[in-house]
Amino acid sequence: MSGVQRITGRGVAVMRSDVDTDQIIPAAWLKKVERSGFGPGLFEAWRKDPQFALNQPGADQAKTLISGSNFGCGSSREHAVWALMDYGFQAVVAPSFADIFRGNSISAGLVPAQVTEDAAARLAAVLESDPDAEVVVDVAARTVSVGDGVTESFELADYAQWRLLEGLDDVALTLRHEDEIAAYERHRQTWLPSLASSQG
């Protein structure tokens, strides 16, 4: 996974709260055994509406999605993140994210940029009046701007920011602590269940 410093391009706003991962990628798509190819399924049901934001001219070029609070709630499917990224999104800007979705985003390299409710509304308003406005998500500075006028800062934990900037292999990061894992394992309670030895 490569790091992400600065995302520059078009934006799309889907200003609904509680966008769940079943909307982002419906379950029927989850039968795939690959990580790629989910883009066509992104917001599959909502895209049947010609008025939907992703059906507007230029939306297929968008790199940043602006949305409402509790984005990504529901199912733990990381496929939702893969669908957004496969479509072309590199960042989602929202007032809050569901916990599992936020973790999945950081693991996969999609930037979950948390702004205030008011900031999300201001950013979306600029896009509404000028859909061609350039959206810049600066991961290092933790700012998002739309057009020339509006720049908002976003929250992103330091450690998450570092992982996104560097595009790190999370497993390799953890394996730096392999000795500590092994030491922990030597002292686990003996009654804990093991599939290797059914107690019965």
The footprint of other proteins (CB under 8 A) covers 16-18, 20, 22-23, 26-28, 30-35, 44-45, 68-70, 73-79, 81, 96-100, 103-104, 107-108, 157-159, 169-171, 173-175, 177-178, 180-181, 184-185, 188-200
DSSP string, 166-197: HT--HHHHHHTTHHHHHHHHHTS-TTS--TTS
Q: Minimum distance from CB of 58 to other proteins (Å)?
A: 25
Q: Minimum distance from CB of 10 to other proteins (Å)?
A: 25
Closest to other proteins by CB, 22 or 134: 22
DSSP string, 86-104: HHT--EEEES-B-HHHHHH
Q: Minimum distance from CB of 182 to other proteins (Å)?
A: 10
Nearest to 79 by CA among 158, 26, 127, 128: 26
Rounded alpha-carbon distances, angstroms, from residue 71 to 14, 157, 169, 181? 10, 17, 25, 34
Closest to other proteins by CB, 107 or 153: 107
- Going by the DSSP 8-state scheme, the letter that residue 71 receives in this structure is B
Q: Minimum distance from CB of 92 to other proteins (Å)?
A: 15
